[in-house]
Amino acid sequence: MVAQAFGDEHTRQKLETVEKCLSVYTTALKRQNFELLYVDACAGSGSSIPKSALAEPQADSGQTNLLGDPKPVIDADQIIVGSALRALKVQPHFDRYLLNDVKKSNVAALRAAIDADFSHLKDRIQLTRFDANEMLTDLCKRTNWKATRAVVFIDPFGLQIKYSTLEALGKTGAVDVWYLVPVFAMYRQIRQDGGVLEDGGRSVDEALGTEEWRNVVATEEKGQIDLWGNSQAVSKRAVDVKWFETVAKERLKAAFDGRVVDQVLPLGRSGLHEFSLMFAWANPSDRARLASKLASAVLR
């Protein structure tokens, strides 16, 4: 198994939260006349190694390494199994698995993991290498949603996911979406003086589908008084990561006609609020609220 070096225990917490819902989802819908899909738009390599594990000092063996510094020895228990492989383990199985990652090496690693451990499901699995937005919008256009239901997991590396993609998912009327919102990445696009970084600001515009957030991220305060008794206004950043979580949640509600659970799971390294895990469902029928109730429970 080829593991990516990223994440930490918050990564495991995120994945376990989503995994809890998947088996209940397939059990609840297995007798329904729908094709059930699991869609992972940013599937990665299938596993990861926490950065904290890589940073741990290795015990001195008393031997000289002629090839330089030794590579860290990783305990198998430290490897975090990724979302795609967790979904493949779920019973009952989904009818199809659409696994995507834009990085060639990740797709190759994921294919190797499937060949090794899930060869019995290969006829159900489709591996692709597209931009996540392209993959998801194409899925929305090409799928017969009257005969299909899907769980979509979106775990982007940064601000890749565009709001137009979320709108397309909301219009299907048939998908449940777990979205790990990169709220800290949004917050970082604002300087301490309240100014918005040019390129990063455009990425936030696309992620939120609006520029209105720019109007409230800065405030002016009185500066120091000079020798003549005058003071110049000083601009400062007026929002925090939690504020971006609130805005992102409201924008997700707009894309899904209000169908977003109230509970949000904040995640990040060493207690830092870097991401917010949110759940939305597109189906307006009362029967579809089962998934939202389950998601609400596991997010508490």
CA–CA separation, 134 and 249 (whole Å): 23
Tens of pLDDT, residue by residue over 68-123, are 444 444 333 445 778 999 999 999 999 999 999 999 999 999 999 999 999 999 99
Secondary structure of residue 160 in the 3-state scheme: coil
Helix residue spans in 130-197 (DSSP H): 132-142, 163-171, 183-187
Q: Is 102 among the domain residues?
A: yes
Structure tokens belonging to residue 133: 């937005």
Q: Is 233 among the domain residues?
A: no
CA–CA separation, 295 and 277 (whole Å): 11
Secondary structure letter of residue 181 according to DSSP = E
- For 248, other C-beta atoms within 10 Å of its C-beta total 24
Bridge-based pairing of strands 80-81 and 4-5 is unpaired
Domain count across the chain: 1
Name which of 91, 81, 86, 27 is nearest 50 in CA terms.
Answer: 81
Phi then psi dihedrals of residue 37, to 5 deg: -115, 145
| Dihedral sign (CA 283, 288, 289, 295) | negative
pLDDT at 234: 72
pLDDT at 6: 43
Secondary structure of residue 196 in the 3-state scheme: strand
Do the Cβ atoms of 65 and 130 come closer than 8 Å? no
pLDDT at 75: 38
Residue owning tokens 């589908």: 209
CA–CA separation, 265 and 279 (whole Å): 10
* 39 sits in which H/E element: strand 35-40
Q: Is 14 among the domain residues?
A: yes
CA–CA separation, 36 and 30 (whole Å): 8
Q: Is 228 among the domain residues?
A: no
Looking at residue 180, which CATH number applies to its domain?
3.40.50.150
Structure tokens belonging to residue 62: 């008393």
pLDDT at 53: 46
Q: Is 47 among the domain residues?
A: yes
Tens of pLDDT, residue by residue over 258-272, are 999 999 999 998 889
pLDDT at 111: 95
pLDDT at 46: 82
Q: Is 219 among the domain residues?
A: no
pLDDT at 77: 40
pLDDT at 271: 85
Q: Is 125 among the domain residues?
A: yes
Do the Cβ atoms of 21 and 295 come closer than 8 Å? yes
What is the torsion angle, in degrees rounded to the nearest 10, for the CA atoms of residue 110, residue 298, residue 14 and residue 288?
50
Phi then psi dihedrals of residue 284, to 5 deg: -80, -5
Q: Is 218 among the domain residues?
A: no
pLDDT at 282: 97
Strands (E), 111-237: 125-128, 148-154, 175-181, 218-225, 231-237
pLDDT at 54: 44
Tens of pLDDT, residue by residue over 129-140, are 999 999 999 999
Give the structural domain span for 139.
4-54+76-210+238-299
Chunked mean pLDDT (size 10), the chain, 300 residues: 51 85 86 93 77 47 44 46 92 96 95 95 97 98 97 94 98 97 97 95 98 91 58 81 98 98 93 95 88 85
CA–CA separation, 231 and 38 (whole Å): 59
pLDDT at 61: 40
